Amino acid sequence: DGGITQSPKYLFRKEGQNVTLSCEQNLNHDAMYWYRQDPGQGLRLIYYSQIVNDFQKGDIAEGYSVSREKKESFPLTVTSAQKNPTAFYLCASSVTDRVGSEAFFGQGTRLTVV
């Protein structure tokens, strides 16, 4: 079945450690996004990519990095510079070749600093 797969579902990070969250899609979507969700809050955009080998910062990019070497994959690295990384991270993808299309989401990765 087509969809977006995020892994792992749960991730624990020690202080000062970098961790990478995986996001893979087989929907043949050009655009991919990373959002952060804190309890009781909406989704805030971290990074997005509308084409391979290109990506743009979102509203809260500090302390995060991404790469887009393949159309199917958009991994997010949470670096030690991110001082409050505990959150629920959501990856999404969408088409870009028509006006107005919904974003499809993965099931999320819950990151906890220990």
Could you list the residues that contact other proteins (CB under 8 A)? 4, 6, 31, 33, 35, 40-45, 48, 50, 58, 90, 92, 94-96, 99-108, 110
CA–CA separation, 105 and 14 (whole Å): 27
The CA-atom distances, in angstroms, between 33 and each of 17, 61, 91, 96, 114 are: 23, 12, 6, 12, 26
Smaller CB distance to other proteins: residue 38 or 81?
Answer: 38
Least CB distance from residue 42 to other proteins, whole Å? 4
Give the torsion sign (CA, 18, 58, 90, 3). Answer: negative
Bridge partner list, 79: none
Residue whose CB is less far from other proteins, 75 or 108: 108
* Between 18 and 56, CB nearer to other proteins: 56
CB of 49 to other proteins, least distance (A): 11
How far apart are CB 63 and other proteins at their closest, in Å? Answer: 20
User: Is residue 66 helix, strand or coil?
Assistant: strand
